[in-house]
Amino acid sequence: MEFDKTKVFTALNADEVQVGSKVIVANDLQKLKDNVNNNNNLGTISKIKNEGEGDRFSVRFLEGHEFSYNLCFLVSPPEKKKVEYKIGDVLKKDTEIAMVTGRHISTNGILIFLVGSSWYNTKELESWEKVEQEATE
């Protein structure tokens, strides 16, 4: 892959990178250039830390390991996932878990109601994940 400085993100512009983006990471510029040229250290952004942190990019790798870095090179933005939740689905966002208890189709699109919460549009639900439920006897 060819190094392009317009795809480099630092602590200054970290908020411009979306969680779920595929990135190549390093903690110094020379190592970042080497990693990009050799297609090394490719991972997925799992979290952008606050401005008080030095290594703002939390990155998860295929092996399941997660580390933080202060530089990243954007390979690709996150794939847009199609939000199709039905009543009874259990959703999770960070430490919050809620069940879908309502669904409404309006002129503004599909709205989903989460128990103990409120109505969400499909854009707001992109950051939620469906929790697979285990079968009970």
Residue range 34-72, pLDDT digits in tens: 999 999 999 999 999 999 988 999 999 988 899 999 999
Domains of the chain and CATH, by start: 5-76 (2.30.30), 90-131 (no CATH)
Name the residue among 39, 45, 40, 93 with its Cα closest to residue 67.
45
Q: Which H or E element spans position 30?
A: helix 29-38
* Cα separation, 72 vs 65, whole angstroms: 17
Cα-Cα-Cα-Cα dihedral sign, residues 45, 24, 40, 79: positive
φ and ψ of 21, to 5 deg: -70, 145
Residue 137 has a pLDDT of 47
Residues of the chain short of pLDDT 50, as ranges, are: 135-137
* Cα separation, 75 vs 134, whole angstroms: 35
